[in-house]
A and B are shown apart, each in its own frame.
Chain A
Amino acid sequence: MNPGTGNHAGEEIIIEAGRTEGRYWHDVWRYRELFYFLAWRDILVRYKQTAIGIAWSILRPLTTMVVFTLVFGTFAGLPSQGAPYPVMVYAAMLPWQFFATALTDSSNSLVSNSNLLSKVYFPRLIVPSSSIIVCVVDFLISLALLFLLMCWYGVLPHWRILTLPLFFLLALFFAFGSGLLLAALNVKYHDFRYVVPFIVQFGLYVSPVGFSSSVVPEQWRLIYSLNPMVGVIDGFRWAILGGGQKLHWQGLMLATAGTALLLVIGIRYFRKTEQAFADII
Chain B
Amino acid sequence: MPILSDKAMNSVISVENLGKKYLVSHQSYTALRDVISDGFRAIGRRLSSPRSNASGIQVEEFWALKDVTFDIKQGERIGVIGRNGAGKSTLLKILSRITEPTEGRVRIRGRVASLLEVGTGFHPELTGRENIFLNGAILGMSRMEIKKKFDEIVDFAEIEKFLDTPVKRYSSGMYVRLAFAVAAHLEPEILIVDEVLAVGDSLFQKKCVDKINDVTSNGNTVILVSHHMGLITSICQSAILLDKGAVVISGDVDLVVQTYLNSTREREIFLNDVSASSGRPFIITGFDIQVDGRSTRNIVAGSRVTFSLQYSMCDVSSYIRFGLHVLDDYGRTICILSPNQQDPDFVHRLTRGGGGISCSMDQLALLPGRYHISIHYSAGGDGLSIALDRICTFDVVEGDVYGTGVIPSEIHGVIFMKGDWRFFKDGSARR
Contact = CB atoms under 8 A, between A and B. Distances in A.
Interface string A140-154: 000000000000000
Contacts of B395: none
A275 B93 CA distance: 12
A61 B22 CA distance: 47
Contact of A14 (B33, B106, B116, B117): B106
Contacts of B106: 14-16
A162 interface: no
Interface residues of A, number: 46
Nearest to B98: A278
A45 interface: yes
Nearest to A118: B98
B195 to A, nearest CB: 12
Contacts of A36: 137
A73 B184 CA distance: 62
Contacts of A19: 100
Contacts of A17: 100-104
Contacts of B126: 41, 44-45, 48
A120 B103 contact: no
A19 B107 CA distance: 13
Interface string A102-130: 00000000000001111111100000000
Contacts of A33: 137, 142-143
Contacts of B139: 120
A120 B101 contact: no
A2 B94 contact: no
A192 B33 CA distance: 10
A41 B111 contact: no
B49 interface: no
A6 B112 contact: yes
Interface stretch (B24-32, B243-251, B362-370): B24-32
B211 interface: no
B110 interface: yes
Given A16-B101, A191-B31, A9 B142 contact: no
Contacts of B29: 188-190, 280
Interface residues of B, number: 49
B410 to A, nearest CB: 32
B44 to A, nearest CB: 21
Contact of A15 (B105, B114, B133): B105
A34 B188 contact: no
B134 interface: yes
A120 B111 contact: no
Contact of B32 (A16, A121, A192): A192
B141 interface: yes
B111 A9 contact: yes
A12 B130 CA distance: 33
B283 interface: no
Given A115-B121, A190-B31, A278-B93, A37 B100 contact: no
B96 interface: yes
B138 A120 contact: yes
For the complex of A and B, the 9 pairs showing the least CB-CB separation, nearest first, are A4-B142, A189-B32, A37-B137, A5-B140, A121-B97, A15-B106, A16-B105, A275-B100, A119-B120
Interface of B: 22, 29-33, 35, 93-114, 116-117, 120-121, 123, 125-126, 130, 133-134, 137-143, 145, 188-189
Given A4-B142, A15-B100, 7 more contacts: A6-B111, A17-B104, A33-B143, A118-B98, A189-B31, A192-B32, A279-B99
